[in-house]
A and B are shown apart, each in its own frame.
Chain A
Amino acid sequence: MVIVESVETAGGASFWQDAKHRLWKNKLAVFGLVVLCVLAVLSLAAYLRPSMTGYSYEQQNLALGPMPPSHAHWLGTDPLGRDLLARLLYGGGISLMVGLCATAVSLIIGVIYGAIAGFAGGKLDMLMMRFVDILYALPFVIFVILLMVFFGQNIILLFVAIGAVEWLTMARIVRGQVMAIKRQEFVEAARALGLRHGRIIFRHIVPNLLGPIIVYATLTVPEVILLESFLSFLGLGVQPPHSSWGVLIKEGAEVMEEYPWLLIYPGAVMALTLFSLNFLGDGLRDALDVRGSKD
């Protein structure tokens, strides 16, 4: 009885139940997921109620100045006497948002563009990919700087600008994968059923690319967060008194010999986030592969 039952549930279990089951079994992925959730919740809370930690991210205390971690200020304060924990959490919200939004933008553009080019092949593919090559050749920091200069320093624009740069690699990856898959028999079978091209691409081919797409997306999030840090570091991204992890690291790096905690904590949190993203990405890829071995 027991055996029969377990066979039935294995066969009939829904896709997402299956995936969840496999994800839960992957300890590193669960660790990554938990860390990201905790960071996201804390950041959101800090964003909605800036005084949650007892201090606001912009509240200065010049008389206090830079203090090492203490009971009153768990992670210490910066040279303007601002509480580092408050700034770290508030900045986390911005960094994570930039990361997710820019990745989403790059994902949508890259997948659609790459899938169409790869499926169409021939001249259209050639044209589309040469266009990507041209964009690749543009030094992208200059591109982002130009955008910033023209449209002013707007955080939403920052998302879009980074996403608009990051989709190129995604398009190339997706195109290559589509070209490999479109000759497979199930695509022929879909054609033989009289399906339109759009339906074949987005219903039959793209879901088969879930693995590479997710892996690349999880690699893009940290890349984008770093890029935002870099732009903020150059003074082009998020501006004080707002904070992001990039801003904090930049400020911390300037004073790291005198006040090392200002660099160590933001750096550690960022590293933790990047690790978590990578673990989660690997786990998701394995969990979502329905063809994967049933262990």
Chain B
Amino acid sequence: MALLTVENLRTAFHTRNGVVRAVQDVSFQLERGETLGIVGESGSGKSVTCYSIMGLVPQPPGRIEAGRALFGDVDLLACSHRQLNRIRGRRISMIFQDAMTSLNPFLRIGEQLIEPLIIHEKITRAAATDRALAMLHEAGISEADHRLKMFPHEFSGGMRQRVMIAMALITKPDLLIADEPTTALDVTVQAQILELIRKMQKELGMAVILVSHDLGIVSGFCDRVMVMYAGRVMECARTDDLFYDTKHPYTRGLRQSIPALQMKGEELHTIPGQPPDPHHPLPGCPFAPRCEHAVDYCAREEVALTEVAPNHGSACLRVQREKLPV
């Protein structure tokens, strides 16, 4: 059985200016130990998907309108707050984009590290502190015993993200959701942090959901990749298939937009146009206005993610109907 099964997740925000459908009919499965990458531009709904699973969508204005997220036999979207709190931080952990702000500035690192242990396990403070020390050491922080007494502002960005990872993994969870864990960091530190997550993943045998807007990071890290655009899944496949046998024009556009692939002097590739206004969803495929392959029915007919090759889903009508090569 899959570790996590998300079915038809639909999350909307009811704002003063109307309803924003941030996530529409997102479905995916995650096996034990597997790494899933979620890629998309800002506002594509990748973070909201994760927040929905973790029960972190502020309600109101947010509302989970439909769907299930089965973790084991518990539906994370429907279970009680109490039940959710027994899973969060113990079996599913999350790390956030900005480690600068996701540590409490008024609590010592040590206090924050042992907190998940104290609330989820019957453990003494001394034993918890020992575990925290070991975990900090694992996370590559030297002089750990000394650092436990320090405050977050005395740490650098990369160190804070290491602390966040140590905190998320101290309870040995089955699933780690990493919401853009390296976006706020230097490139060199980025690689170290990803390496750390990979190392811990191997040791603990946990599954990872890595959210990123950087296709490059995801390609080197994940078993499978899910590409999101305007709240929908555009394509979902094993990493190699997604890169070498792309089945959606949007994925191709993203791939070509990686600047490192361009020669000096050559113009950078961009996808023309802007993502649709979330307040006014378009009928048909949301990418149609920007798509070079779009034909008249693209903007009219509803499209859903469909398997176009084994274990390879695409939400492009032309790929589905005409086997369009993209």
The reply to whether B116 and A204 contact each other, CB–CB distance below 8 Å, is: no
Q: How far is the CA of A235 from the CA of B147 in the complex (A)?
A: 59
Q: How far is the CB of B61 from chain A (nearest CB, A)?
A: 11
The reply to whether A8 and B103 contact each other, CB–CB distance below 8 Å, is: no
Report B-chain residues with C-beta under 8 Å of the C-beta of A191.
54-56, 88
The reply to whether A192 and B56 contact each other, CB–CB distance below 8 Å, is: yes
The reply to whether B96 and A189 contact each other, CB–CB distance below 8 Å, is: yes
Give the most central of A185, A188, A192, A207: most B CB within 10 Å: A192
Cβ of B220 under 8 Å from chain A = no
Q: How far is the CB of B297 from chain A (nearest CB, A)?
A: 42
Q: How far is the CA of A12 from the CA of B144 in the complex (A)?
A: 12
Which candidate, A77-85, A98-106, A160-168, A194-202, is the interface stretch facing chain B?
Answer: A194-202
The reply to whether B151 and A290 contact each other, CB–CB distance below 8 Å, is: yes
Report B-chain residues with C-beta under 8 Å of the C-beta of A208.
104-106
Q: How far is the CA of A8 from the CA of B84 in the complex (A)?
A: 41
Cβ of A190 under 8 Å from chain B = yes
Q: Which of A176-220 contact B (CB under 8 A)?
A: 183-186, 188-196, 199, 203-204, 207-208, 210
Q: How far is the CA of A209 from the CA of B257 in the complex (A)?
A: 45
Cβ of B45 under 8 Å from chain A = no
Instruction: List the B residue with the shortest CB-CB distance to A204.
Output: B104
Report B-chain residues with C-beta under 8 Å of the C-beta of A194.
84-90, 116, 119-120
Q: How far is the CA of A251 from the CA of B154 in the complex (A)?
A: 56
Q: How far is the CB of B302 from chain A (nearest CB, A)?
A: 34
Q: Contacts A188-B56, A192-B94, A193-B119: A210 and B150 contacting too (C-beta < 8 A)?
A: no
**B102 contact from A186, A290, A291, Cβ within 8 A:** A186
The reply to whether A193 and B88 contact each other, CB–CB distance below 8 Å, is: yes
The reply to whether B154 and A11 contact each other, CB–CB distance below 8 Å, is: yes
The reply to whether B116 and A193 contact each other, CB–CB distance below 8 Å, is: yes
Cβ of A14 under 8 Å from chain B = yes
Interface range, A side: 20 to 34
Report A-chain residues with C-beta under 8 Å of the C-beta of B84.
194
Q: Contacts A122-B60, A188-B56: A195 and B115 contacting too (C-beta < 8 A)?
A: yes
Report B-chain residues with C-beta under 8 Å of the C-beta of A15.
108, 151
Q: How far is the CB of A136 from chain B (nearest CB, A)?
A: 27
Q: Contacts A11-B150, A290-B151: A192 and B104 contacting too (C-beta < 8 A)?
A: no
Q: How far is the CB of B50 from chain A (nearest CB, A)?
A: 10
A100-124 interface mask toward B, CB cutoff 8 Å, 1 = contact, 0 = none? Answer: 0000000000000000000000100
Report B-chain residues with C-beta under 8 Å of the C-beta of A188.
56, 96, 102
Q: How far is the CA of A185 from the CA of B179 in the complex (A)?
A: 12
Q: How far is the CA of A59 from the CA of B108 in the complex (A)?
A: 56
Report A-chain residues with C-beta under 8 Å of the C-beta of B101.
184-186
Cβ of B280 under 8 Å from chain A = no
The reply to whether A290 and B89 contact each other, CB–CB distance below 8 Å, is: no
Q: How far is the CA of A190 from the CA of B90 in the complex (A)?
A: 12
Report A-chain residues with C-beta under 8 Å of the C-beta of B108.
15
Instruction: List the B residue with the shortest CB-CB distance to A210.
Output: B106
Q: Which of B151-165 contact A (CB under 8 A)?
A: 151, 153-154, 164
Instruction: List the A residue with the shortest CB-CB distance to B106.
Output: A207
The reply to whether B56 and A185 contact each other, CB–CB distance below 8 Å, is: no
Q: How far is the CB of A82 from chain B (nearest CB, A)?
A: 50
Q: Contacts A186-B101, A188-B96, A194-B85: A207 and B107 contacting too (C-beta < 8 A)?
A: yes
Q: How far is the CA of A35 from the CA of B149 in the complex (A)?
A: 34
Q: How far is the CA of A190 from the CA of B116 in the complex (A)?
A: 9
Instruction: List the A residue with the shortest CB-CB distance to B50.
Output: A192
Q: How far is the CB of B106 from chain A (nearest CB, A)?
A: 4
Q: Contacts A12-B146, A290-B151: A195 and B105 contacting too (C-beta < 8 A)?
A: no
Cβ of B93 under 8 Å from chain A = yes
Instruction: List the B residue with the shortest CB-CB distance to A203.
Output: B107
Instruction: List the B residue with the shortest CB-CB distance to A186.
Output: B104
Q: How far is the CA of A199 from the CA of B90 in the complex (A)?
A: 16
Cβ of B138 under 8 Å from chain A = no
Cβ of B98 under 8 Å from chain A = yes
The reply to whether B150 and A192 contact each other, CB–CB distance below 8 Å, is: no
Q: Contacts A194-B90, A207-B106: A291 and B146 contacting too (C-beta < 8 A)?
A: no
Q: Which of B68-117 contact A (CB under 8 A)?
A: 84-90, 93-94, 96-98, 101-108, 115-116
Q: How far is the CB of A205 from chain B (nearest CB, A)?
A: 9
The reply to whether B60 and A195 contact each other, CB–CB distance below 8 Å, is: no
**A189 contact from B86, B102, B153, Cβ within 8 A:** B102
Q: How far is the CB of A14 from chain B (nearest CB, A)?
A: 7
Q: Contacts A122-B60, A194-B90, A194-B116: A189 and B150 contacting too (C-beta < 8 A)?
A: no
Report A-chain residues with C-beta under 8 Å of the C-beta of B153.
290-291
**B146 contact from A11, A193, A195, A207, Cβ within 8 A:** A11
Q: How far is the CA of A14 from the CA of B108 in the complex (A)?
A: 10
Give the most central of A185, A196, A207, A210: most B CB within 10 Å: A185
Q: How far is the CB of A207 from chain B (nearest CB, A)?
A: 4
**30 sampled A-B residue pairs with Cβ under 8 A:** A8-B146, A12-B149, A12-B150, A122-B60, A185-B101, A185-B102, A186-B102, A186-B103, A189-B94, A189-B96, A189-B164, A191-B54, A191-B55, A192-B89, A192-B96, A194-B85, A194-B87, A194-B88, A194-B90, A194-B116, A195-B115, A196-B119, A203-B107, A204-B104, A204-B107, A208-B104, A208-B106, A290-B106, A290-B153, A291-B151
Given contacts A15-B151, A185-B101, A192-B89, 5 further A-B contacts (CB under 8 A): A8-B146, A11-B150, A188-B96, A194-B89, A194-B116
Residues of A within 8 A of B (CB): 8, 11-12, 14-15, 122, 183-186, 188-196, 199, 203-204, 207-208, 210, 290-291
Which 7 A-B pairs rank lowest in CB-CB distance, beginning with the nearest?
Answer: A193-B89, A194-B89, A194-B88, A185-B102, A194-B85, A192-B94, A207-B106
